[in-house]
Amino acid sequence: MGVYSIEDYIICIAILLFVLWFLLKYIFSRIKLDRDFIKAISPYILIGVFIRLLVDVGFFDANRLWNVTPGVYVLTIMLSLTSVGLGMYVSHYFRIPYWYLPFGIGILILLPITHELLSHLVHLERVLYPLTLASVILFLVYLLSRYFGIEVFRRGDNLTIIFSHLLDGCATFIAYNYYGFYEEHLLPIYLISLTGNNAIIMVPVKLALILLVIYLIEKWYLEEKKKDELLYRAIKFTIFILGMGPGLRDMLLPSLV
């Protein structure tokens, strides 16, 4: 997989906007975007990341239709929504929480993928470095937000979003600087070149950007007097996925052969 082009970004943004529109119009009108929904689709997030990693290690040939961006996102969304639909259908007749079935199906799909990925896992300790760095920075963000009385950055959902993007930035920095990996995205490539080919710039940039985005979202939500709860949750969930997906991949990739 090479560097993403402008056309790639246009396609990905178009798909993202379509999926968000589809979810808001046809899915979340029937299912709440709550903890049950997150539990239902959580295995599919890992499925997408692990499939992409199996491309990185050469188990699959790269194919934009299903195992690299944007296809891998489309695949996992289709799998998760189909399973959620089945779960809703079954729960209507058997009176069990709808998320049980999609969660179970996701785990069954995830098991063989995880088994194959583990066979490529060699340097497990490398996973700990970005994980630890992101956790320490997140803790500092929490302490500073308490000290300065900034409630928005102390909330659990926002801290989770911040962590996902910190993990992406920290993993990029460590993989690029210490393990010889390269950057695929245009803006990070430009920023890294400005700092003498040092990817540490990605950590403060990612942190500053996600803090700004969260602040603007929360400000908009309050100005709207909390009217559009669904759109608010959907935007935040999407931002979390956009951080956690690449973050997990970049964290795990240096540990694989």
Check whether residue 116 and residue 145 sit in a common domain. Answer: no
Domain extent at residue 48: 1-120
Let me know: does 176 contact 168? Beta carbons within 8 Å. Answer: no
> Per-residue pLDDT averaged across 145-157, rounded?
96
99 vs 11: CA distance, rounded Å:
31
pTM: 0.94
The mean pLDDT value of the chain amounts to 94
Q: SS3 string of 182-216?
A: CCCCHHHHHHHHHCCCCHHHHHHHHHHHHHHHHHH
64 vs 59: CA distance, rounded Å:
15
Check whether residue 97 and residue 193 sit in a common domain. Answer: no
Check whether residue 214 and residue 163 sit in a common domain. Answer: yes
147 vs 72: CA distance, rounded Å:
41
Domain count, the chain: 2
Confidence at 137, pLDDT banded by 50, 70, 90:
very high
Check whether residue 148 and residue 196 sit in a common domain. Answer: yes
pLDDT of residue 3: 78
pLDDT of residue 226: 80
pLDDT of residue 29: 85
Check whether residue 54 and residue 109 sit in a common domain. Answer: yes
Check whether residue 116 and residue 127 sit in a common domain. Answer: no
Check whether residue 32 and residue 136 sit in a common domain. Answer: no
pLDDT digits (tens, 9 = 90+) for 73-85: 999 999 999 999 9
User: N- to C-terminal Cα distance for the chain?
Assistant: 16
Concatenating the DSSP letter of every residue in 159-188 gives HHHHHHHHHHHHHHHHHHHHH-----SHHH
Check whether residue 144 and residue 248 sit in a common domain. Answer: yes
pLDDT of residue 97: 95
98, 120, 142 - which closes a domain: 120
Check whether residue 135 and residue 61 sit in a common domain. Answer: no
57, 89, 120 - which closes a domain: 120
> Measuring CA to CA, how many Å separate 126 from each of 71, 105, 193, 195?
28, 30, 25, 24
